[in-house]
Structure formats: structure tokens, C-alpha cells
Structure 1
Amino acid sequence: MSNAPVYEIDPAAFWADPYPDLARMRAEAPICFVPQLGATLITRRDDIFTNEKKIEVFSSDQPEGLMTVLMGQNMMRKDGEDHMRERRAIFPTVSPKTVKNVWKAQFETATARALDRLAGQDRADLVKDFAMEVSAEALKSITGLTNMDWREMDRVSQGMIDGCANYAGDPAVMATCNDCTASIDRHIDQRIAALRDAPDTSLIAVQLQAGMDEAQMRANVKLAISGGQNEPRDAIAGAAWALLTHPEWLRAARAGDITWLQVFEEYARWISPIGMSPRRIAQEYDLDGVRLDPEDRLFFMFGSGNRDETVFARPDIFDPTQDIAAAISFGAGPHFCAGAWASRCLIAEVALPMLFERFPDMALAGAAPFGGWAFRGPLSMPVRLS
């Protein structure tokens, strides 16, 4: 086991607000072992940026990891050429060209439909009544699972996320996760023949066209759902909350003084929707005097790196004009999020501008509680629409 200094956390407090603990870790023990998580945490931005690329030490191949056990060994849990081969296979689905020419129009249609349903209402919860549907409908298109109701898409995504973070081994959480992966498989079963016969640019179709075996295709679809629903959902609602609580930036975005993309990318730095990425230590390694032993579990804490006070001028402040070129919101190495272009399009080009155009007088109607440290976002967001 690593000889890293031990840092104790209160798991409930860390879930509610990890940033005070993460700031202390960066200052006092930037590489530390957290017994409550059973992992060594790397918390400084430059350490994460440098070491995420050292796949011979910090391996994504985690045969005993929760994601692999529960969902199958997807491309995120592979390194080197094995990872790149599958990344190339799915590129036709997530390329900037496909996002622009295929997915954007579908994102706009689904977002307009969600907004139409809100029209005439006085109040809404932007998480459950808007962001959840918009994100899920986008994911239905991208995966090819157009037969899945958007509510089920959100359910199975959340179930897998909870399962992959179930480090306490709660059997009820595992059972729910297994039920969710079974639902995905049933929906794939219903679509696979049609997508073989008439392939499109969906994730299922392009993997089949690339000759990927069915088990691997299914594992990668589950990966896309596990991360591709919560991050856009939480970023849509969360970025809207950031603007409503910082009206000067909302005015700037509406006036064109800042872009919606600046809003999204600053939000993704400030409140990292994906706050952590796990690794397995593949060989003994010394990192700044801390010994890491083979099979140790290690977490790259993106949410901490994105608030590193040695890198960002105003790390704890939402400021879309500050320089965030060093942000690692989508990762920092070979596992840089393949869905980044789709997320930017959905959130910055479609969901946020359409939402604020439709409801120009929208205002918060209560507190918006946040939760999570591995995945973080608003749990609810009550608004008055007019």
C-alpha cells in the first residue's frame, strides 16, 4: 500500500461539498491516502496533467474495478493501442463534423420539444423538467437507442454511476446497477438488427460497421450512457444556475460580450461535473517522495485540479472571462473525453441559448442543492419561468 500521508474525510460532508477538503489536501498533502475512499488521491492540477499520461504506471486497465465488473471492460478501461483502436472505431459518431452535420439539428428539435412542454407553466425544476430530458434525448440519438424513453435513459445512467461509485459495497446499489445494465441490453437487443441492416452514425452502428464484437460494443454503449447523461444534464442545469446567481454574466452572455461556450467551459472548471477518474497502479513508482505500490487504487481529482490556486487566478469564483486554458474538465491525457464536442454543442450552442431565449424573465425560486464529488451537480433547481 502507498506510504502517502493519510487524510481523513467525513464521507457525507465530502459528498455535500468536497472543496474545503480538496483545498486542504492541495496545501498540506497533495498526494494523500483517504481511508474512507480506499484510494490515494492526486489533487494538484499539474501533477494530474503530467501523470495521467504515464499509462505504464497509472493504468486504466482495472479488471477488478467496479466499472469493469458491472459494465464490462469498455474502452475507458483500456490503455495504449487497445484503447486507441476502439477510440478510432467510435470517432465517426463523435467527430466535430458529425456533431455539426447530424446531431446538432436533433439536439435542437429535442430541446424545442422540452421547452414547449414548459411553456405556460409558472414554475419548474430545471434538472428534472428540462436538463434531464434534453440530455437523455441527445444520448438516445447518439447511442442509437431511440427506442428508450428519456426517463429510462436517465434512470439507467444514474444507476450505473451509483454502482461505479459504490465503494462501500452496498448490495442494494449493486442490484439496481445490474437492473440498469440489463435494461440497456434489452434495448440494444431491440435495435441491433435494424442498425446492422441500415447503419447510421450512431454508436451502436459505427461499432458494428467497424467489426467490433458485440460484447465490446455493448460495454462501450454502457460507458457512453454512464457518463454521457449526467455530465450534460448537470452542466445544463448547473450553468443556468451559475448565470441566474451571477446576473452580470447573464447580461454579458445575452449581449454577446461573452459566449455561451465561455459560460459552459468556466462552469465545467468551477463545478467539475466529472470530478474524478480512477486508476490502478501497474508498477511501483515514486511520486514526489510518495511510494505507490502495484495494485494500489488512485484517483485523479479533476475537480481539485480545476481549482488549483497556483494555476487559476480566481479558482473559487465563477468568471467566464478568466483564462482557463489549463482546465482539465474533460481529462488531460489519452482518455480525454470522446464526447467533448457533442457536450459543447448540446450545452453551449443549443440548450443554454434556447432556454434563456424562451424564458427571458426566468429567476430562481428557491435553493439549488448540489451533491457529489466523483460526479457533481445540482440535485434540483426550482425556477420561476415568467
Structure 2
Amino acid sequence: MSTAPRFDIDVAAFWNDPYPALAQMRKEAPIAFVPQLGSTLLCSRDDIFVSEKKIDIFSSDQPGGLMNRLMGQNMMRKDGDAHMAERNIFFPAVSPKAVRSRWIAQFQAHADRIIGALDPAAPVDLMRDFALPFSAECLKSITGLTNMRFQDMNAWSQGMIDGIANYIGDGAVEARCHAATAGIDAAIDDMLPVVRQAPDHSLLSVMVEAGMPMGSVRANIKLAISGGQNEPRDAIAGTVWALLTHPDQLALIRDGRVPWLQAFEEYARWISPIGMSPRRVAKPWTIRDVAFEPDERVFLMFGSANRDERYFENADRFDLRRDASKSVAFGAGPHFCAGAWASRAMIADVALPALFSRLSNLRIVDGEPIRIGGWAFRGLLNLPVTWDR
């Protein structure tokens, strides 16, 4: 165990709102051992930005980690050449060029169809009725698992997200994760003959065509689903909520002073849909006066780094005028999110402008509280809205 000072948390309170505890840690113990999570947390942006690049010390290769055990070892849980070999196969399917030439038109078609089916006369939860199906339909296109229902894509993604954040060892959560991975394996099995007979540009197709071992194909498809559904889903609903509750910020976009991309980037900094990334200490190391021992677990707290007062003035405020370029919402090292460009296109190029242009006077329905939760992965749980016909 590291020599970091002990910092106790209330797990339920931390799930509901981690920011007060993280701010206290940044002030009093920016490297702290949290026994309730069984891990040492790095909370300052400087420590995280530097440590994430030291893959020989803070390794993503975690043989006994939850992700490896529940989803298989994907490229996110490999370092160095092993990581790059799989990333180089995976990346062309989600590169900026691929997003522009292949995916953005499909994203727009999904958005137009789903928005066209919404009716303000009925109760509309923007999370459930738009963000969830839109993110899932886009992800079906990218992964090549077009045989899945969007409801299954979302449920299985959530099952895996919950499973790999299950640091308290809840058996029911682990069982749901196993059910999710089994469903994804079945969907892959159904689509393998299709992409072998007619290769396309999907993730499944490019990995199979490149000869990647099937265990790695399955693990990397699960990786794409676990982050590729939840993060865009949560960021779409969350950014809409942030803009509707900060009308002065929305006015900056409507007046053309700030682009939609800045709204997404600032929301991703402010809330950090992916709030943490785990690492395994590979060899003895010391940061200032804190010593680490091999094989202990470290959490890089992106959600804390993105509210570090040394980089972000009034960090708890949603402010589209700020420079969010120091944010580590997508990571900062060799494991920088490979799907970042697809996510930006889905949210900033398609979803946000489509919603605000087509749903006149979009607004939150009074009376039903907005719920938000999570710390390893954080997002809205509902967003009741209406608009003018």
C-alpha cells in the first residue's frame, strides 16, 4: 500500500456528488488512499498529466483488474507495442477522416429520424427518448453490430460500465455485467459471417480483416461499447441540461460567439463523463513524499483534474468563455480516447445543433427533479423536457 495519507469517504455521497470530497483532497491530500475504494487516488491535474504518460510505472496492464476479468483484455489494458498494435488496427475506423467521410452522414440520419418521432404532447425524457437511442444507433453503425436493438446496446453498455466500476464487489452488478458480455458475444457471432462475406468500414470488420485474434476483437468491441454508448449519451443530455439551466451561456451559442464544440468541451471538463481511469503500479515509485509499491491500484481522477483550481478559475462553474484546452476529459497520454473524434462529431456537429434548431423553445419541465450520479462514470439519469410545436 502507498504511504499516501488516508482519506475516508461516504461512498453513497461520493456517488451523488464527488466534487466536495475531491476538492478537499486536492487541498489537503492530492494523493490520498481511500480505503472505501481500496485505491490511492491522484487528484491534481499535474500529477495525473505526468503519471498517465509514465506507462512503465503506472501501467494499464492489470491482469487481475475488473475490466480484464469481466470484458477481456482490450487495448486500453495494454501498454507500449501491444497497445499500439491493436490501436493501429482499430483507429482507422474512427479517425477524423473516417468520421467525416463515413459516419457523420449516418449520425445525422439517426438524429433526424429520432427527433422526428418525438412528440411534445407526450412526456419526453431527453435522456431516454433521444440521447440513449441516438448514441446507441450511432454506435451500432460504428461497431458493425447492426443486428442489435438500441435498447440492448444501451443496457449491455451500462451493465459493463457498472461492472468495471464495481469496486465494492456487488454480486448482482457482476452478474449483470456477465449477461451483457454474453449478449455482445452472441451479436458478434451473428455478424461475423456478414462482415467476412462483405467487409465494410466498421470496427468489427476492420479488426477481423486485419487478422486480429478473436479474443482481442471481442474485447475491443466491448471496450467500444462500454465507453462509446455511455459517454456520448450522458454528454448529450448533460450538455443540453447545462445550456438550458445557463441561458446566458446558450445565448453565446445562438449569437454565434461560441461554437457547439466549445459547449461540449466545457461540459466534458465540468462534469467529466469519464471521471476516472485505473492504473497498476509496475515498480516502486515516489511522487514527492508518497511512496508506491508494486501491484497496488491507483485511480487517476480525471473529474478532479478537470476542476483543479490551478488551471481552471471558478472551476465549479459552467462557463463557455473559458479555455478548456487543459481538460483531460479524454485522457492525456498514449491511451487518449480513440473515439474522441466520433464523439465530438456525434455531439457537437449533429446532436446539439439538431435538437436546438428543430425543437423550438426547448425547455425543462418543472416539477420533476433532475437526477445525476456517478464518480467513475458520471451523468444525468433523466431530463424531462418539452418544446413548442
Give the structure-2-normalised TM-score. 0.98
Match of 1:259 in 2: 259
Task: Provide the secondary structure at the position in 2 that maps to 1:82.
Answer: helix
Match of 1:134 in 2: 134
Task: Provide the secondary structure at the position in 1 that maps to 2:250.
Answer: helix
**What is the CA distance between 1:85 and its match in structure 2?**
0.7
Task: Provide the secondary structure at the position in 1 that maps to 2:54.
Answer: coil
Match of 2:372 in 1: 370
Match of 2:155 in 1: 155
Give the residue type in structure 1 aligned to 2:82: D
In structure 1, distance between residues paired with 2:91 and 2:176: 31
The range that moved more, 346-355 or 307-316, is 307-316
**What is the CA distance between 1:384 and its match in structure 2?**
1.8
Give the residue type in structure 2 aligned to 1:307: R
Q: Pairwise mapping of residues 194-273 of structure 1 onto structure 2 (< 5 A)?
A: 194-273=194-273
In structure 2, distance between residues paired with 1:288 and 1:75: 31
The range that moved more, 113-122 or 74-83, is 113-122
Q: Pairwise mapping of residues 1-386 of structure 1 onto structure 2 (< 5 A)?
A: 1-365=1-365, 366-386=368-388
In structure 1, distance between residues paired with 2:360 and 2:29: 46
Is the CA contact (8 Å cut-off) linking 1:122 and 1:385 kept in structure 2?
no
- Cα deviation code 1:107-138 (max 9, x no counterpart): 01111111011135353111111100110001
Task: Provide the secondary structure at the position in 2 that maps to 1:98.
Answer: helix
In structure 1, distance between residues paired with 2:123 and 2:354: 17
Q: Which runs of 5+ in 1 are unaligned?
A: none
Give the residue type in structure 2 aligned to 1:180: A
- Cα deviation code 1:182-233 (max 9, x no counterpart): 0000000110111012111100001012110111101000000011100000
**What is the CA distance between 1:385 and its match in structure 2?**
2.3
In structure 2, distance between residues paired with 1:178 and 1:44: 34
Is the CA contact (8 Å cut-off) linking 1:45 and 1:308 kept in structure 2?
yes
In structure 2, distance between residues paired with 1:197 and 1:256: 47
In structure 1, distance between residues paired with 2:313 and 2:121: 41
In structure 2, distance between residues paired with 1:120 and 1:336: 39
In structure 1, distance between residues paired with 2:199 and 2:219: 19
Task: Provide the secondary structure at the position in 2 that maps to 1:258.
Answer: coil
In structure 1, distance between residues paired with 2:364 and 2:64: 44
Is the CA contact (8 Å cut-off) linking 2:125 and 2:382 kept in structure 1?
yes
**What is the CA distance between 1:362 and its match in structure 2?**
1.1
Is the CA contact (8 Å cut-off) linking 2:158 and 2:226 kept in structure 1?
yes
In structure 1, distance between residues paired with 2:120 and 2:362: 13
Is the CA contact (8 Å cut-off) linking 1:123 and 1:385 kept in structure 2?
no
Give the residue type in structure 2 aligned to 1:72: G
- Cα deviation code 1:347-375 (max 9, x no counterpart): 00000000011112111114211100000
Give the residue type in structure 1 aligned to 2:67: M
Is the CA contact (8 Å cut-off) linking 2:270 and 2:306 kept in structure 1?
yes
The range that moved more, 193-202 or 334-343, is 193-202
Is the CA contact (8 Å cut-off) linking 1:92 and 1:98 kept in structure 2?
yes
In structure 1, distance between residues paired with 2:363 and 2:123: 10
In structure 2, distance between residues paired with 1:120 and 1:101: 34
Structure 1 ranges of 4+ moved more than 4 A:
none
Task: Provide the secondary structure at the position in 2 that maps to 1:361.
Answer: strand
Task: Provide the secondary structure at the position in 1 that maps to 2:361.
Answer: coil
Task: Provide the secondary structure at the position in 2 that maps to 1:118.
Answer: coil
**What is the CA distance between 1:314 and its match in structure 2?**
2.5
The range that moved more, 73-82 or 191-200, is 191-200
**What is the CA distance between 1:46 and its match in structure 2?**
1.0
